[in-house]
């Protein structure tokens, strides 16, 4: 018998319904310096939000549908640094099950769902490019295409408000998708919020989720239970996706440090994250399905993608006319070919793309199958993150959860005259030979050092640069990790 929330005696009809069930955790990186972090969904946090309402229709990750309902929407999302997401493209286009509503974006006569958009001038050129890249992913893998708004009445208005949030489904007129410039302009975050705008809710709330995860109610506060309530969805026959960009992590909203709120079934050691760097063929190491066409899109904020197959065993046919893998140097099948059709049981050399995107296509026919493959990727060169504005806050990846291993992040702060104050908790090694922070007085690692390698659990005194740029380098090794850091910067007076 599954655990039930201790307040379940109230019954579902007695719970508050003035807020939606698909809230996303609020990242510390979005807080203004000195502002107190309010627990998401607490009474104080709710009072700080303006109420908005509209006719909504919930759908999940190109797969789950529900009839429209009325509720208030503002969502906030844990900041993701990159996106590793797989979608199957041989499925039907989306349909609204209730023809009396217009809560879904309509499909045109050519079978494409066109979604008009505008992008606020609050975003700089780099941020705008990141948003457009995230939109291109939808066009390369689905029947959805975002197009610049001209005279359309209904459109998505991408703005920099406080936090990351979106309405669920089409509500009519200009509907806001908020991507705070101080913490939301990352590929995974953008795609998550655009999925909401298209009508999708969270993976862990789909109707069959109890077959795949157990919700540990005892570690979820009453004010946050709505984030985990199961929805009446139509899953369209698609498999449960632990690595979905719409899935919460193991410890989302936990009220006891170190205790998971979502435990996978049957493997309690599985880790739920949309930023994993390893992917496999379906069912691996069991035989993969026949008559399938899979796309695995790897997209990182910056740098180059380097892809490696640690195991490769696919049906061998002349000229790979049956099952095969094909890799593209970009985000779509129209990008240059990085490796042409490959099959058989072999070792494949590492593949390095020329940009921040690599697309892997896996096609199978109706005959023989095989175990398939295991692949992983690394970032070739540092991941560069640009920070602009008079002031702001930034964090290590996943903060305050442990940061990833084997990373090289570069945070470039560009303001008229900068002062950076930081507090860190890093793996402590002799001479900081493992994980470390290093700060440069300029825009590159060849600039003068403002603070040399620093690690451990400490407060770092305020650092003042002599120019309009300060560069913070964060390097991690393959061993121990720690919570990381939260840092703020401001213009010198």
pTM of the model: 0.45
Q: What is the pLDDT at residue 120?
A: 96
| CA–CA distances in Å: residue 433 to residues 400, 437, 452, 476 | 22, 11, 12, 9
Would residue 193 show up in a list of annotated catalytic residues for this protein?
yes
How far is residue 264's CA from residue 215's CA, in Å, rounded to a whole number?
9
How far is residue 238's CA from residue 142's CA, in Å, rounded to a whole number?
15
Domain 8-204 identical in fold to domain 278-380 = no
Q: Does the annotation place 41 within a ligand binding site?
A: no
Q: Does the annotation place 192 within a ligand binding site?
A: yes
Place of tokens 């440069």: 440
Which residue among 82, 141, 159, 193 is the active-site one?
193
Q: Does the annotation place 64 within a ligand binding site?
A: no
Q: How many CB atoms lie within 10 A of CB 392?
A: 21
How far is residue 131's CA from residue 121's CA, in Å, rounded to a whole number?
13
Tokens of 474: 């964060």
> pLDDT (tens digit, 0 to 9) for every residue of the chain, 493 residues total?
445 444 343 333 233 222 232 334 433 332 233 322 222 322 332 233 333 222 222 222 333 333 222 222 222 222 222 222 222 233 222 334 444 456 788 889 988 999 999 999 999 988 898 899 889 888 877 889 999 999 999 999 999 987 788 888 888 899 999 998 887 888 778 988 898 888 887 889 888 899 888 999 999 998 888 889 888 877 777 777 776 778 887 788 889 877 889 887 754 444 443 345 677 888 888 998 888 878 777 776 566 788 889 899 999 999 999 999 999 988 778 889 999 999 999 998 888 888 778 888 888 998 899 999 988 887 666 677 888 777 788 888 888 888 887 788 888 888 765 556 555 556 566 778 788 999 998 888 888 999 999 988 888 888 888 877 888 999 887 778 888 888 888 876 5
Sketch the domain layout of the chain as residue ranges: 8-204, 278-380, 383-491
Place of tokens 């948003």: 131
CATH architecture entry for 383-491: Sandwich (2.60)
CATH T-level fold of 8-204: Collagenase (Catalytic Domain) (3.40.390)
CATH architecture entry for 278-380: Sandwich (2.60)
């Amino acid at each position: 018998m599954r655990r039930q929330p201790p307040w379940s005696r109230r019954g579902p009809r007695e719970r508050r319904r003035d807020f939606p069930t698909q809230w996303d955790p609020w990242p510390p990186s979005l807080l203004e310096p000195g502002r107190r972090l309010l627990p998401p969904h607490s009474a104080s946090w709710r009072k700080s939000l303006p109420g908005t309402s509209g006719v909504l229709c919930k759908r999940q990750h190109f797969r789950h549908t529900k009839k429209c309902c009325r509720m208030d929407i503002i969502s906030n999302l844990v900041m993701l640094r990159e996106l590793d997401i797989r979608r199957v493209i041989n499925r039907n286009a989306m349909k609204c099950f209730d023809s009396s509503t217009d809560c879904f974006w309509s499909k045109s006569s050519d079978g494409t769902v066109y979604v008009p958009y505008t992008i606020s001038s609050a975003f700089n050129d780099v941020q705008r490019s990141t948003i457009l890249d995230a939109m291109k992913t939808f066009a390369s893998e689905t029947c959805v295409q975002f197009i610049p708004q001209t005279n359309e009445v209904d459109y998505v208005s991408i703005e920099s408000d406080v936090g990351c949030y979106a309405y669920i489904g089409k509500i009519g007129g200009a509907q806001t998708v908020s991507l705070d410039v101080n913490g939301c302009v990352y590929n995974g975050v953008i795609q998550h919020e655009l999925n909401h705008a298209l009508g999708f809710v969270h993976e862990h709330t789909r109707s069959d989720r109890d077959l795949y995860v157990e919700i540990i109610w005892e570690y979820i506060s009453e004010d946050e239970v709505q984030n985990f309530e199961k929805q009446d969805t139509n899953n369209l026959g698609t498999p449960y996706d632990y690595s979905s960009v719409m899935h919460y992590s193991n410890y989302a909203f936990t009220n006891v440090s170190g205790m998971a709120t979502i435990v996978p079934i049957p493997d309690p050691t599985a880790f739920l994250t949309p930023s994993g760097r390893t992917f496999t063929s379906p069912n691996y190491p069991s035989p993969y399905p026949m008559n399938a066409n899979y796309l695995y899109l790897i997209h990182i904020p910056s740098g180059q993608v380097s892809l490696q197959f640690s195991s490769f065993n696919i049906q061998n046919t002349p000229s790979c006319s049956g099952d095969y893998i094909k890799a593209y140097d970009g985000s779509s099948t129209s990008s240059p070919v990085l490796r042409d059709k490959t099959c058989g049981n072999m070792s494949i050399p590492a593949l390095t793309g020329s940009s921040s995107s690599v697309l892997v296509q896996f096609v199978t026919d109706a005959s023989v199958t095989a175990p398939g493959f295991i692949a992983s990727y690394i970032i070739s060169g540092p991941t560069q993150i640009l920070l602009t504005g008079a002031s702001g806050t930034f964090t290590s990846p996943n903060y305050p959860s442990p940061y990833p291993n084997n990373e090289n992040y570069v945070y470039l702060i560009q303001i008229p005259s900068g002062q950076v104050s930081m507090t860190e908790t890093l793996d402590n090694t002799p001479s900081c030979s493992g994980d470390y922070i290093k700060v440069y007085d300029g825009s590159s690692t060849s600039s003068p050092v403002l603070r040399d390698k620093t690690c451990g659990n400490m407060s770092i005194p305020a650092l003042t640069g002599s120019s309009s740029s300060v560069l913070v380098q964060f390097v991690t090794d393959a061993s121990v990790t720690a919570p990381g850091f939260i840092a703020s910067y401001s213009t010198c007076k």
